């Protein structure tokens, strides 16, 4: 559901500083839409704090979760480079602080520093590899394993550990989000999450999730890797 991708951090310091110097800051409250499908690409973004949903449309027109952006992640480069509108919608899952690089500045820096297209090529290649890995998981793993991997990944990326070994995931994610991401029915996810609750692996605190046995979830997911 998340990755640690941060191609700006991989750049040499002088290139990174040149980019940051041209960025502006945008603050988005939870629930507000940043860009909609079909909007013109006006620049790229990097999450400074908070979390952002990337949403697509299923065949019946309902918005579904594709992935989550976390601090450090960048998005919006693809429509800028492809010179096309946004294919997806981005919505603030929590209060979000973003840094934005305008389209004109992006192209000027892209032409000035060879390291930028090189880093973007690596990012796009890594994204493709993750997509293939996820497809393989969906075809070979049982649903409970996939859900366990999702929870373990969320714990790694944004979990708040407690002294008793439990981990709190303070993101307002509902069972339907897991169903959308895994491309299964909500009823199937409800059944498997119910089984994990009955086994004492997880519980809910309103919209948040408490993972009582993170290592058990990793074992259930066969430690396949971060989603």
Nearest to 147 by CA among 204, 93, 191, 200: 191
| pLDDT for position 222 | 57
Q: Structure tokens of 146?
A: 């996939």
User: How many Cα atoms are found within 13 Å in the side-chain-facing hemisphere of 42?
Assistant: 10
- Enter the pTM of the model: 0.89
What is the Cα gyration radius of the chain? Answer: 18
| pLDDT for position 221 | 62
Full set of structural domains in the chain with CATH? 7-136 (2.60.120.10), 142-220 (1.10.10.10)
| pLDDT for position 226 | 42
Cβ-Cβ contacts under 8 Å for 145 (sequence gap 6 or more): 220, 221, 222, 224
pLDDT mean values, one per 10 residues, the chain (227 residues): 92 97 97 95 96 87 88 96 94 97 98 97 92 86 92 93 94 92 93 95 91 87 48
Three-state secondary structure readout of 73-97: CEECHHHHHHCCCCCCEEEECCCEE
């Amino acid at each position: 559901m998340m990755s640690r991708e941060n191609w700006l951090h991989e750049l040499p310091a002088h290139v990174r500083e040149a980019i940051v110097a041209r960025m502006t800051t945008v603050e988005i409250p939870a629930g507000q839409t940043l860009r909609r499908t079909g909007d013109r690409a006006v620049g790229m973004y990097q999450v400074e704090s908070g979390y952002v949903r990337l949403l697509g449309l299923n065949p019946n027109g309902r918005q579904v979760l594709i992935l989550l952006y976390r601090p450090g992640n960048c998005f919006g480069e693809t429509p800028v480079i492809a010179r096309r509108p946004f294919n997806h919608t981005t919505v603030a899952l929590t209060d979000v602080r973003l840094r934005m690089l305008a389209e004109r500045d992006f192209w000027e820096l892209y032409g000035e520093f060879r390291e930028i297209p090189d880093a973007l090529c690596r990012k796009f290649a890594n994204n493709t590899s993750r997509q293939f890995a996820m497809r393989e998981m969906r075809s070979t793993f049982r649903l409970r394993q996939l859900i366990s991997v999702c929870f373990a990944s969320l714990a790694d990326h944004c979990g708040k550990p407690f002294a008793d070994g439990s981990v709190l995931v303070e993101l307002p994610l509902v069972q339907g989000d897991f169903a959308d991401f895994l491309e299964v029915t909500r009823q199937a996810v409800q059944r498997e999450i119910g089984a994990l609750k009955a086994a004492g692996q997880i519980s809910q605190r309103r919209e948040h999730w408490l993972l009582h046995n993170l290592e058990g979830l990793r074992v259930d997911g066969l430690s396949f890797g971060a989603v």
